[in-house]
Amino acid sequence: MAERIPEEKIDQIRNSVDIVDVIGDYVNLTKQGRNYFGLCPFHGENTPSFSVSPDKQIYHCFGCHAGGNAFSFLMDLEGFSFQEAVVNLAEKTNIPLDIDVSSHDKNVKQSPELQQMYDAHELLCKFYHHLLVNTKDGQEALEYLLKRGFTMESIEKYKIGYSLNSWDFVCKFLQKRKFPLDLMERAGLLIKRERDGNFFDRFRHRIMFPIHNEKGNIIAFSGRSLGEEDPKYLNSPETAIFNKSKTVFNFNRAKKHIKKEQRAVLFEGFADVIAADAAGVINGIATMGTSLTDEHVQLIRKSTDHVTICYDGDTAGIQAANRALDMLQSVGCNVRIAWLPEELDPDDYIKEYGAEKFKNEVIEASLTYMSFKMRYLRLGKRLNDEGERLRYIEEVLTEISRLTKAVERDHYLRQIASEFSLSLDALQQQQKQKFYSMQKNTKNQPQSLPQEPFLLQQKSNNVLRPAFQNAERMLLAHMMNNHDITLKVQEMLSGNEFNVDEHQAIYTYLLAYYESGYVPDTSNFMQFIKDKELRHIVADIVMMPVNEDFTEKELSDYIKHVLNHQKMIKIKEKIHDEKEAERQKDYAKAALIAMEILQLRKSLEK
Ligand SMILES: [Zn+2]
């Protein structure tokens, strides 16, 4: 069982950690005024509606209403328990916990089956690596790798290994360590023979590349054949822990470099990532034998909005790059394309021309959107044929019409005019026509690149609410900032409740919070609230702009709205009763109710 972490330690950690740093590890944040904004990690979006307040040490999403403090961020995003979140932040702030944290393993919350799958991968990864670098069995594979240009450094860093040329070595290895074989089959490590139901090893006599998830757990392997036998790469199948369309190779290692350099380099295969890393490109990632999916794009977009695509230089690679470019561009990424010459792949290029040239003449000299499109559209066209040439110009004009900056449009129009000796005026005319017809066609479609998101999103927080709801939220906002105001509100409500159940619940929590001797501190209060939905509402309320000097007049106005609403509901009920009495011709009763209504109306505070 996990040892309890003392309150004081938790307070100490909460006070020394900065929520901007914690969230900054996951979300690319930009400062706007007092707060930071970024793409919400809890729901897919292309324009930032996620905000972090360094003053209040909380976060809030105007889109999906997620909200909380640094601890709840890790709990909601990583699936950590409260204790795990505390342990994680203790490490980050270098505050020693002086308790046994071994039971606070990252995956402690996982189901035991998933945990066993991770454990088996971890164990096998170490074993395969040992076989490759330390044993005679792995010598052939090691020599093969070194001959192919892999360095010992890369082999260490990427924990590359070797699987023995045996049908049942891994099978026995796992069995001896009490891993259930049918579970290991579902983890993709073993294969079950239909004929007799026996298990055998999936990977035999292959160079083994471990694949990690975002958190750094090993979830799969890719096994490369040593010779020419097919397939060249054998990947783990899709399992409960491995989903190809969501997995980005090296993301766990590269994400901090991506944040720092404000750019990701996207490769076609993981071998390219490893080769590029050895050449000094450390922010490289790749998909796992599939083309780019929307899920990959969302994952990348959350960490940066600048991507360089570096796919193979052959036709298939260029076509895939064009598709990836459109996908990344559509979620608001600024994309460049590194175009490799002579149909080379990145790995071959580095071997041929060296690391320096790869960095300077391929990655650094990558093409802008428009330069790439102009080269791409040219492929396979014979431009000395008039028909093909006109088609090319037409296609380029379409791309130019997509550019948002007038200077850029002008630049490329001039380039086309001079290359094909055309009149610039005529080109400009044609481009404008194209632009208008495109506008017409896309009128009913949502804009792919909406700008100025922040103010727009901010407004959605102030949706028109009935006066009493707004009053309750304003009262709560001030009460969270000030214990005295809370006492005053308590007195003025004199036993009456808030009309909105959630507001009443937050109010009750707040009274208990102050009674426990705590001082106003939103982040701490968040922790006090055990209900996630309520926490989200608190975050929503806290992010409302409120004026610091709160007058008695405002206070009593808000209270009036709250109390009047309750009376208004009662009056409505009474009117209904009165009508009902009239319908039943019980005029005495109706008259009595009418009196009560009058009384209630009088008591409404003006
Ligand atoms: Zn959200």
pLDDT at 147: 92
How many angstroms is it from 77 CA to the middle of ligand 1? 11
What is the mean pLDDT of the segment spanning 55-83? 89
pLDDT at 3: 64
> Does residue 261 surpass a pLDDT of 90?
no
How many angstroms is it from 54 CA to the middle of ligand 1? 18
- Kindly indicate the confidence band of residue 445, based on its pLDDT and cuts at 50, 70 and 90: very low
> Does residue 254 surpass a pLDDT of 80?
yes
- In this structure, what are the phi and psi dihedrals at residue 233, rounded to the nearest 5 degrees? -120, 125
How many angstroms is it from 58 CA to the middle of ligand 1? 14
- Domain 7-104: state its class: alpha beta
Distance CA 266, CA 273 (A): 8
pLDDT at 244: 93
What is the mean pLDDT of the segment spanning 232-248? 94
How many angstroms is it from 109 CA to the middle of ligand 1? 24
- Which CATH topology does 246-363 take? Dna Topoisomerase Vi A Subunit; Chain: A, domain 2 (3.40.1360)
How many angstroms is it from 55 CA to the middle of ligand 1? 20
> Does residue 451 surpass a pLDDT of 50?
no
pLDDT at 461: 47
pLDDT at 120: 97
CA proximity to 34, closest of 57, 65, 68: 57
- pTM, two decimals, is 0.64
Q: Could you please report the per-residue DSSP string of 112-134?
A: HHHHHHHHHHHHHHHHHHHHHHH
Helix (H, G, I), strand (E, B) or coil at 231: coil
Task: Tell me where in the chain the CATH 3.40.1360.10 domain(s) lie.
Answer: 246-363
Q: Could you please report the per-residue DSSP string of 540-555?
A: HHHTS---SS--HHHH
Written as six digits, the tokens of 367 are 């093409």
Task: Tell me where in the chain the CATH 1.10.860.10 domain(s) lie.
Answer: 463-606
How many angstroms is it from 456 CA to the middle of ligand 1? 15
pLDDT at 442: 59
- Kindly indicate the confidence band of residue 434, based on its pLDDT and cuts at 50, 70 and 90: confident
How many angstroms is it from 67 CA to the middle of ligand 1? 9
> Does residue 458 surpass a pLDDT of 90?
no
Distance CA 422, CA 425 (A): 9
pLDDT over 70 percentage in the chain: 93
How many angstroms is it from 21 CA to the middle of ligand 1? 19
pLDDT at 437: 80
- Kindly indicate the confidence band of residue 507, based on its pLDDT and cuts at 50, 70 and 90: very high
How many angstroms is it from 215 CA to the middle of ligand 1? 20
Distance CA 590, CA 105 (A): 69
How many angstroms is it from 302 CA to the middle of ligand 1? 12
How many angstroms is it from 48 CA to the middle of ligand 1? 9
Max alpha carbon distance in the chain (Å)?
A: 105
Which CATH superfamily is 463-606 part of?
A: DNAb Helicase; Chain A (1.10.860.10)
- Which CATH topology does 112-242 take? DNA primase DNAg catalytic core, N-terminal domain (3.90.980)
What is the mean pLDDT of the segment spanning 127-153? 95
What is the mean pLDDT of the segment spanning 334-346? 90
Contact of 216 with 252, CB cutoff 8 Å: yes
What is the mean pLDDT of the segment spanning 81-99? 85
How many angstroms is it from 15 CA to the middle of ligand 1? 25
Chain mean pLDDT for the chain: 88
How many angstroms is it from 38 CA to the middle of ligand 1? 10
pLDDT at 105: 47
How many angstroms is it from 36 CA to the middle of ligand 1? 14
Per the model's pLDDT, the better-predicted residue between 435 and 104 turns out to be 435
Distances (CA, A) of 489 to 196, 475, 503: 75, 8, 13
> Does residue 125 surpass a pLDDT of 70?
yes
How many angstroms is it from 60 CA to the middle of ligand 1? 8
Q: Could you please report the per-residue DSSP string of 447-469?
A: PSS---HHHHHHHHHT----HHH
Specify the DSSP class assigned to residue 408: H
Over residues 539-578, the pLDDT tens digits come to 999 988 887 788 888 999 999 999 888 888 888 888 989 9
How many angstroms is it from 45 CA to the middle of ligand 1? 8
What is the mean pLDDT of the segment spanning 162-187? 95
> Does residue 101 surpass a pLDDT of 80?
no
How many angstroms is it from 66 CA to the middle of ligand 1? 6
> Does residue 1 surpass a pLDDT of 80?
no
How many angstroms is it from 492 CA to the middle of ligand 1? 36
How many angstroms is it from 261 CA to the middle of ligand 1? 25
pLDDT at 459: 40
How many angstroms is it from 527 CA to the middle of ligand 1? 20
Task: Tell me where in the chain the CATH 3.90.980.10 domain(s) lie.
Answer: 112-242
Distance CA 463, CA 478 (A): 19
